[in-house]
Amino acid sequence: MLAEIKSQLESHRQVVEAMERDLATAIEVAVGLLADAYRDGKKMLVMGNGGSAADAQHLAAEIIGRFKMERRALPAIALTTDTSILTAVGNDYGFDRVFSRQVEGLAQPGDVVIGISTSGNSPNVEIALKAAAAIGCKTVALLGRDGGSIGKLVDLPLIVPSQDTPRIQEGHITIIHIVCDLLEKTLFKAAKP
């Protein structure tokens, strides 16, 4: 068992090193997109399925609450949390529309809409990102593997270089934490001790 633990930690380390090499500039661009949107009075909408839904909620919570810095709340909506909307839209329109219907009702031009999909091929996330682009939103996606169909349609794909879902999810939460930290530092001056 110890050998397996060490193997998994080594696999994680390799993915993080590849992210440092391949994604640092794209993460910087993502922070800039969000900072510009917030300066313009816009908001973030974020979505995903399963573990990616949990990551979407985690991201929205860090943005509305705080990451490390005491500061004003920023507007962020996880499209994964309202069971009445999810079940009504799922029942009336189909599961593929559970996020796009919310984007159609909530998004405005200039908002940043973020999709999270380890495969890059989640139909409901893809349809919602297409709806967001049609409205005039900036679209960002946290993806894995080869980026899938979603990677080809968003303004900014952040593709964790791995084929392994747990490593991809670990990469996504690392990106989320970096973005939250740098967004606070970009938008708010740190309090003097």
Between CA 120 and CA 33 the distance in angstroms is 21
pLDDT digits (tens, 9 = 90+) for 10-52: 999 999 999 999 999 999 999 999 999 999 999 999 999 999 9
What's the residue count for the chain? 193
Residue 43 to residue 33: CA distance in whole angstroms: 11
pLDDT at 189: 77
- Please, what is the average pLDDT of the chain? 96
* pLDDT tens for each residue of 115-162: 999 999 999 999 999 999 999 999 999 999 999 999 999 999 999 999
- The tokens for 11 are 């696999």
Q: Residue 133: which residues within 8 A CB-CB, separation 6 or more?
A: 139, 153, 154, 155
pLDDT per residue over 40-96, tens digit each? 999 999 999 999 999 999 999 999 999 999 999 999 999 999 999 999 999 999 999
CA–CA dist 97, 90 (Å, integer): 7
CB crowding 126-140: b at 16 or more within 10 Å, else e: bbbbbbbbebebbbb
pLDDT at 191 exceeding the cut of 70: no
Q: Which of 114, 110, 125 is nearest to 158 (CA)?
A: 114
CATH 3.40.50.10490 fits 2-187, yes or no: yes
Domain-by-domain residue ranges, the chain? 2-187
Confidence band for 193, pLDDT divided at 50, 70 and 90: very low
